[in-house]
Structure 1
């Protein structure tokens, strides 16, 4: 299973179709995942907020080893767009 497939699966397990906004995850060097009310999938479609980080940071967040807010505060995760959606997602992933 590729890193992208693992990430999609992990996001769907944690959040699934329960997220009512749209978030784009840009995993540097790997690809882009979209999360919306239909769930997570590999897609480069636009979203309300874009979260960008390297593969190691995303894996740590999805494994529960790194809090998304801490990743943002330390510069490991960048946020572009609707900060309220990002905060709502951080709560769902924690």
Structure 2
């Protein structure tokens, strides 16, 4: 799945929900998905929290087949920056 399509799905899933802070899913050479000010984009920018993750594992995270805590413990995703922002995002997508 292309990052643009994933970004659109995230935007749809966040409709009507509140998310304070900014978060970046960094998929390396595949690109980024940034959530900031209620908008989702694939344009890179500085954020409060960055989650380094492969595109494959991001797909699993979004469809619920990868638990965020388990993924972090197994090294499938790495969180840097404000951990509170990452935890809020997990609650919104879960």
Query: Is TM > 0.5 for Structure 1 vs Structure 2?
Result: yes
Cα shift at 1:40? 0.7
Between the aligned partners of 2:52 and 2:81, the Cα distance in structure 1 is 11
Flag structure 1 segments of 5+ consecutive residues without an equivalent.
none
Between the aligned partners of 1:35 and 1:87, the Cα distance in structure 2 is 14
Matched residue pairs, number?
A: 93
Match of 1:6 in 2: 5
**Once the two structures are superposed, what CA deviation does each residue of 1:23-63 show, in whole Å capped at 9, x if it has no partner?**
01101331011101232111110000000111110000111
What does residue range 12-51 of structure 1 map to in structure 2 within 5 Å?
A: 12-16=11-15, 18-51=18-51
Cα shift at 1:85? 0.6
* Structure 2 length-normalised TM: 0.88
Are the counterparts in 2 of residues 34 and 41 from structure 1 also a CA contact under 8 Å?
A: yes
* Structure 1 length-normalised TM: 0.88
Flag structure 2 segments of 5+ consecutive residues without an equivalent.
none
RMSD between superposed Cα atoms in Å: 1.5
**Once the two structures are superposed, what CA deviation does each residue of 1:3-27 show, in whole Å capped at 9, x if it has no partner?**
1112101211222462111001101
